């Protein structure tokens, strides 16, 4: 018997609804309840896989190969769960299902409409997630802001769902912003009142308000919000800006957030066990070391574009009592080896993350070369592995002009090439090699040692791969292919034994890192960076 919690946002977007949804998941799990999170995105793209990271931030990939909103990353990291296709629903995917059904004649001649057909499909997705995960609580967050035209079908579906399932089984939480006016020194509640009014006019009365604020909310303001938004005073929850997002669950717990939720849903109140999380936040706030890690990518103007990579670096830092500062490097700037040196001389490690397209590639190659020649700890992710192999082929093996056919179709040495099964692929959405695949690690290698096991499983998102025709040549010249697909065919990890940590992988380890369980490859990088620094 799943209970449903709906989270909407008001006043402005980018309020941190995702962190609130993830934090609530954490607080309920810490009481022994099971939880699944779901994200509703009102845009028309079928999934964010085809969107530019500048538009949308990172594309988060799940075990089952869904290309999803980055909020799923927060959900997984906070609740230590593995989500999938059903956990991210876009308007595009809902319309796609409905239109396909219409084309198959399944509506038996009916006029297909937003209500009931689109709203029914949205409700079906809620039920499908509940059926798949059988959680005590399904926490469904609606992207965007209440009042957005494109969000209306989701709000209407939630309104209907609450009527049909019952108000004891469903709950509405509205996350808003209280702007602070420095001139009068006041927190303003009016925008939140308007936002709740809008939600009410669409048939939903929220039971709980979570208010983002820079300052503590005075009691008078809390009571005012409660009175004008028709919620109990204990249901006005303050959510202050924190120095780390991982502190948010603890701040919410202090205000009894999860217990208020449980009471509203007639569920037994249980004591939270947050000891480990408190210990984690204590470690985050009291680091013994500081490390500077260069992240050389092309979407550096929007830090959300690499959010899982940044979080993974921080997680590995926490485990090693180190605060990780990111030095954002626009890879174009490393136009030659000298420039790469200038950019990298003050950092303790280098990460080259995933990406697409030729822009910035030569700069990445220079940065990787600098790291290799100077024993600067380095981790390459997906495109980062492909660049590692190109750099090695050019500068160690001596294959001048070696490249990936993604960047130079006519290269004489295509050391990275389109995967065989990709050659016939035409469309762009959900057509890469996606999701979890097993990988076998070679005995005696650095990565085998770091993982501590022979078979691992990691998430992928790529079309190109190391060209097997060059494997032997690369290996003869000292590059170790330390991880392959279990059939030995695909190169999944490469490393250089002579360097302390020069490791690159074809998959995206950043999607499986957790604040309390850093990923072995990031942990290996951070440990090497600390060795170098001391
Ligand atoms: N562009 C490369 C490929 O498609 C790398 C992809 C990535 O880094 N996610 O294989």
Within this chain, do residues 240 and 302 fall inside the same structural domain, yes or no?
no
By alpha-carbon position, which residue is closest to atom 6 of ligand 1? 462
* This prediction's pTM: 0.95
pLDDT, residue 374, reads 97
Q: Find, among 485, 496, 430, the residue nearest to 458 by Cα.
A: 485
Residue 52 resides in a domain: yes
Measured CA to CA, the distance from residue 399 to residue 322 in angstroms comes to 39
Measured CA to CA, the distance from residue 357 to residue 326 in angstroms comes to 23
pLDDT, mean of residues 366-384: 97
* Angle (deg, nearest 10), helices 307-319 and 520-533: 60
pLDDT, residue 54, reads 82
With a 6 A CB cut-off, is 462 part of the ligand 1 pocket? yes
Residue 518 resides in a domain: yes
pLDDT, mean of residues 490-498: 97
Q: Which of 277, 293, 318 is the last residue of a domain?
A: 277
Within this chain, do residues 267 and 354 fall inside the same structural domain, yes or no?
no
Residue 23, domain CATH: 3.40.50.300
- Ligand 1 atom showing the smallest separation from residue 354 Cα: 8
pLDDT, residue 41, reads 97
Within this chain, do residues 141 and 115 fall inside the same structural domain, yes or no?
yes
User: Does the structure show a pLDDT above 80 at 241?
Assistant: yes
pLDDT, mean of residues 487-495: 96
> Residue 173 phi/psi, 5° resolution?
-115, 130
Residue 440 resides in a domain: no
- Ligand 1 atom showing the smallest separation from residue 419 Cα: 10
Within this chain, do residues 100 and 158 fall inside the same structural domain, yes or no?
yes
Residue 363 resides in a domain: yes
Are residues 173 and 208 in contact, defined by beta-carbon separation less than 8 angstroms? Answer: yes
- Ligand 1 atom showing the smallest separation from residue 508 Cα: 9
Residues 75-126 have pLDDT tens digits of 999 999 999 999 999 999 999 999 999 999 999 999 999 999 999 999 999 9
User: Does the structure show a pLDDT above 90 at 145?
Assistant: yes
Q: Which of 225, 252, 277 is the last residue of a domain?
A: 277
pLDDT, residue 528, reads 98
Q: Which of 261, 277, 293 is the last residue of a domain?
A: 277
Measured CA to CA, the distance from residue 58 to residue 56 in angstroms comes to 7
pLDDT, residue 15, reads 87
pLDDT, residue 245, reads 96
12 band by pLDDT with thresholds 50, 70 and 90: confident
423 band by pLDDT with thresholds 50, 70 and 90: confident
By alpha-carbon position, which residue is closest to atom 7 of ligand 1? 354
Are residues 157 and 130 in contact, defined by beta-carbon separation less than 8 angstroms? Answer: no
Q: Looking at the 3D structure of the chain, how many domains does it have?
A: 2
Residue 454 resides in a domain: no
Contacts for 76 with CB less than 8 Å, ≥ 6 apart: 82, 83, 511, 514
Within this chain, do residues 65 and 188 fall inside the same structural domain, yes or no?
yes
With a pLDDT cut of 70, the percent of the chain lying above it is 100
With a 6 A CB cut-off, is 382 part of the ligand 1 pocket? yes
Query: According to DSSP H, which parts of 184-229 are helical?
Result: 190-201, 219-229
Measured CA to CA, the distance from residue 141 to residue 84 in angstroms comes to 15
Within this chain, do residues 223 and 107 fall inside the same structural domain, yes or no?
yes
Within this chain, do residues 267 and 297 fall inside the same structural domain, yes or no?
no
Residues 283-340 have pLDDT tens digits of 999 999 999 999 998 887 787 899 999 999 999 999 999 999 999 999 888 999 999 9
Within this chain, do residues 181 and 234 fall inside the same structural domain, yes or no?
yes
Measured CA to CA, the distance from residue 102 to residue 81 in angstroms comes to 35
User: Does the structure show a pLDDT above 90 at 516?
Assistant: yes
Sign of CA dihedral 356, 362, 368, 371: negative
Q: Which residue has the higher pLDDT, 424 or 510?
A: 510
Residues in a beta bridge with 416: 404, 466
Residue 443 resides in a domain: no
Rounded to the nearest integer, the mean pLDDT of the chain is 96
Residue 454 alpha carbon to ligand 1 centre in Å: 25
Measured from the Cβ of residue 233, the count of other Cβ atoms closer than 10 Å reads 12
The boundaries of the domain holding residue 476 are: 284-421+464-483+494-533
pLDDT, residue 215, reads 93
By alpha-carbon position, which residue is closest to atom 9 of ligand 1? 354
- Ligand 1 atom showing the smallest separation from residue 356 Cα: 1
Residue 447 resides in a domain: no
With a 6 A CB cut-off, is 422 part of the ligand 1 pocket? no
- Ligand 1 atom showing the smallest separation from residue 357 Cα: 1
Within this chain, do residues 304 and 271 fall inside the same structural domain, yes or no?
no
With a 6 A CB cut-off, is 123 part of the ligand 1 pocket? no
Which residues are known catalytic residues?
382, 508, 510
Within this chain, do residues 267 and 288 fall inside the same structural domain, yes or no?
no
Within this chain, do residues 258 and 355 fall inside the same structural domain, yes or no?
no
429 band by pLDDT with thresholds 50, 70 and 90: confident
By alpha-carbon position, which residue is closest to atom 3 of ligand 1? 462
Within this chain, do residues 253 and 376 fall inside the same structural domain, yes or no?
no
With a 6 A CB cut-off, is 16 part of the ligand 1 pocket? no
Residue 498 alpha carbon to ligand 1 centre in Å: 27
Residue 509, domain CATH: 3.40.50.880
* CA-to-CA dists, residue 337 to 363, 372, 374, 390, 395, angstroms: 9, 12, 12, 15, 12
pLDDT, mean of residues 362-387: 97
Residue 439 resides in a domain: no
* Ligand 1 pocket: which of 463, 504, 507 to mutate (most atoms within 8 A of CB): 463
pLDDT, residue 161, reads 98
Measured CA to CA, the distance from residue 401 to residue 426 in angstroms comes to 28
Residue 381 alpha carbon to ligand 1 centre in Å: 9
């Amino acid at each position: 018997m799943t209970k449903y919690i709906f989270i909407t946002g008001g006043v402005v977007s980018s309020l941190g609804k995702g962190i609130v949804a993830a934090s609530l998941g954490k607080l309920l799990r810490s009481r022994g309840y099971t939880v699944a999170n779901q994200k509703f995105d009102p845009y028309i793209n079928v999934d964010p896989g085809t969107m530019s990271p500048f538009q949308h931030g990172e594309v988060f990939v799940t075990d089952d190969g869904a290309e999803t909103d980055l909020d799923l990353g927060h959900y997984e990291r906070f609740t230590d769960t593995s989500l999938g296709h059903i956990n991210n629903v876009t308007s595009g995917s809902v319309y796609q299902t409905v239109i396909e059904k219409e084309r198959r004649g399944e509506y038996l001649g009916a006029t297909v409409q937003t209500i009931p057909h689109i709203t029914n499909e949205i409700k079906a997705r809620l039920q499908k997630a509940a059926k798949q995960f059988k959680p005590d609580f399904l926490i469904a967050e609606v992207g965007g802001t209440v009042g957005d035209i494109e969000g209306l079908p989701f709000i209407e579906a939630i309104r209907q769902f609450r009527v049909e399932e019952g108000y004891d089984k469903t709950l509405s939480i509205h996350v808003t912003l209280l702007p602070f006016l420095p001139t009068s020194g006041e927190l303003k509640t009016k925008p939140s009142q308007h936002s709740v009014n809008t939600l009410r006019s669409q048939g939903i009365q929220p039971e709980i308000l979570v208010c983002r604020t820079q300052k503590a909310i005075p009691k008078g303001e809390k009571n005012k919000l409660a009175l004008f938004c028709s919620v109990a005073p204990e249901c006005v929850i303050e959510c202050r800006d924190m120095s780390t997002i991982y502190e948010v669950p603890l701040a919410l717990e202090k205000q009894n957030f999860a217990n208020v939720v449980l009471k509203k849903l007639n569920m037994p109140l249980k004591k939270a066990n947050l000891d480990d999380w408190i210990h984690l936040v204590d470690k985050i706030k009291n680091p013994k070391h500081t490390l500077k890690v260069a992240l050389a990518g092309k979407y550096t103007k929007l830090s959300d574009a690499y959010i899982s990579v940044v979080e993974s670096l921080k997680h590995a830092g926490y485990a090693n009592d180190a605060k990780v500062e990111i030095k954002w490097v626009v890879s174009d700037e490393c136009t030659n080896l000298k420039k790469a040196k200038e950019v990298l001389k003050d950092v303790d490690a280098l990460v080259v993350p995933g990406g697409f397209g030729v822009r910035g590639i030569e700069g990445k190659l220079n940065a990787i070369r600098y790291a290799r020649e100077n024993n600067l700890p380095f981790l390459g992710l997906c495109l980062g592995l492909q660049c590692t192999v190109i750099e090695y082929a050019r500068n160690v093996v001596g294959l001048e002009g070696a490249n990936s056919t993604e960047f130079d179709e006519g290269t004489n040495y295509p050391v990275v090439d389109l995967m065989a099964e990709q050659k016939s692929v035409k469309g762009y959405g959900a057509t890469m090699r996606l999701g979890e695949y097993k990988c076998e690690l070679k005995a005696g290698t650095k990565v085998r040692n770091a993982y501590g096991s022979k078979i691992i499983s990691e998430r992928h998102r790529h079309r190109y791969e190391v060209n097997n025709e060059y494997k032997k040549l690369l290996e003869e010249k000292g590059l170790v292919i330390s991880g392959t697909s279990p059939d030995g065919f695909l190169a999944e990890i490469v490393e250089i034994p002579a360097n302390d940590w020069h490791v690159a992988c074809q998959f995206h380890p950043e999607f499986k890192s957790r604040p309390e369980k850093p990923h072995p490859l990031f942990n290996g990088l951070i440990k090497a960076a600390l060795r170098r620094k001391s």
